[in-house]
Amino acid sequence: MTSASITDLDVAVLAPFGKDCALIEKLLHRSGFRARAMQDAAAMIAVIPENAGVAVVSEEALVEHDITGLAKKLESQPQWSDFPIIVLTGGGRSTDETEIAVRSRAPLGNVTLLERPLRAATLLSAVRSALVARRRQYEIRNHLHERELAETALRKARDTLESIVEERTAALCRLSAQLLSVQDEERRRIARELHDGLGQYLAAAKITLDTLVITQPETENYLGEVGQLLDRAITETRTLSHLLHPPLLDAAGLASATTWYVEGFGKRSGIQASLTLPKKLGRLPTSVETALFRIMQEALTNVHRHSESTKVEVVLEIEDGVALLAIRDFGKGIPKKTLELFRQAGTNVGVGLAGIRERVKELGGSLDIQSSKKGTTLKVSIPIGGRVQNAFTAPSFSQIYSSFAT
């Protein structure tokens, strides 16, 4: 859509007498304007504002009915339009009739009065000024149209990008869940290899060494230290295998695996660790047990590495089909800015908290972290997705949590 120049805009001329109309039209044509004589007010109303830039009208050509119709047409114009009308009014004294005529033209809005008799230069100047202003209005119209097109294109682009982002986000969530699953399977495989492979080789070497000491007592002084090293290697291999994937988790369930891990964590780290479990806890779905154990494992690892706490408390509860896990330390806490960035965008943290968040999200749960200079509390809730096997009775999670959250 291009802007119209002055000469491209029509001047609608309406006069009650053909001679006056013809003279005005001829004057405008000679001055380079494209003028169009209107037969009556209805014809002029029909071309506003699509084909006209300004209207030149004799006041005697506008009766009350015509003014009403013209006013309605002007009211229906878009906001950018303010159609100019030049009214050729009678000269001389102001009378009651002329005052009534002036008031009756008020609804027309942008009206310029030229008193007769008028000079040709005055009329041409008024028409030229009106057309310049009208051209500016069309430029505004074109600008608004271009902006509307741009906004439409931006909305389409935004919708497309949002759709792409949603698809990519869903794909990343699926990939994250697959990676966690692969990670768990790989841990299970490595744990099995350590136990069944390297662990068995070390055990065989220890048996051979013990046999050698029995059959050749004189070598005991030389091989005793080697035997001690093998014992340590066997112990650490077994511990590493169990840390990667405790066999108790598959064989006995979450309660046994959690108890074993928390006790071992306290011995290995020197941090006083306590565990509160439901009095009777049956087996949970495998995905839930694995997730809760890994979350506890990651949380305790973070406590050991970063908190500088001397004590940690772990609480596990089941309420209304939801598994609730809370881990609280009494260390230096997480920096406020770091925690805010994690809450808003999940960034600026290590893989431990990011992994916890993904595990919780994959199972449709929620994660809450509260931290201050007095310590950090991590709370996780995960829907079980089915009834817990075997009934249990346990104290309220909220009571347990409040007991160490104060």
Asked if residues 255 and 286 have their Cβ atoms less than 8 Å apart, the reply is: no
Q: What is the pLDDT of residue 89?
A: 83
Q: Are residues 124 and 262 in the same domain?
A: no
262 in a domain, yes or no?
yes
Q: What is the mean pLDDT of the chain?
A: 80
354 in a domain, yes or no?
yes
369 in a domain, yes or no?
yes
209 in a domain, yes or no?
no
The residue from 148, 174, 196 where one domain ends is 148
Decide if pLDDT at 16 tops 80: no
Buried b (16+ CB within 10 A) or exposed e, 33-43: bebbbbeebee
207 in a domain, yes or no?
no
Q: Are residues 142 and 254 in the same domain?
A: no
- The four Cα atoms 43, 44, 48, 53 give a dihedral, to 10 degrees, of 140
Decide if pLDDT at 316 tops 50: yes
Mean pLDDT, range 20-45, rounded to an integer: 86
Q: Residue 102 corresponds to which tokens in the numbers above?
A: 């002036």
108 in a domain, yes or no?
yes
Residue in the structure block whose two tokens are 């230290």: 225
Q: What is the pLDDT of residue 6?
A: 43
Decide if pLDDT at 142 tops 70: yes
Q: Using pLDDT thresholds of 50, 70 and 90, give the confidence band for residue 225.
A: confident
Q: Using pLDDT thresholds of 50, 70 and 90, give the confidence band for residue 273.
A: very high
Q: Look up the CATH number of the domain holding residue 134.
A: 3.40.50.2300
Max mean pLDDT range (74-78, 113-117, 257-261, 313-317) = 313-317
156 in a domain, yes or no?
no
Q: Are residues 378 and 266 in the same domain?
A: yes
The total of structural domains in the chain comes to 2
Decide if pLDDT at 375 tops 70: yes
Q: Which of 53, 38, 24 is nearest to 116 (CA)?
A: 24
Share of the chain above pLDDT 70, in %: 83
The residue from 117, 148, 179 where one domain ends is 148
Domain containing residue 266: 249-405
> If you ran DSSP here, which 8-state letter would residue 48 be given?
T
Q: Are residues 256 and 388 in the same domain?
A: yes
76 in a domain, yes or no?
yes
Decide if pLDDT at 4 tops 70: no
Rounded Cα gap, residues 383 and 369, in angstroms: 18
Q: Look up the CATH number of the domain holding residue 275.
A: 3.30.565.10
Mean pLDDT, range 122-134, rounded to an integer: 92
Note the pLDDT tens digit of each residue in 274-311.
Answer: 999 988 888 899 889 989 998 998 899 889 988 899 99
Asked if residues 26 and 38 have their Cβ atoms less than 8 Å apart, the reply is: no
**Rg (alpha carbons) of the chain, rounded to whole number:** 45
Least confident of 159-168, 201-210, 274-283: 201-210
Q: Are residues 138 and 273 in the same domain?
A: no
Q: Are residues 130 and 259 in the same domain?
A: no
The residue from 148, 171, 201 where one domain ends is 148
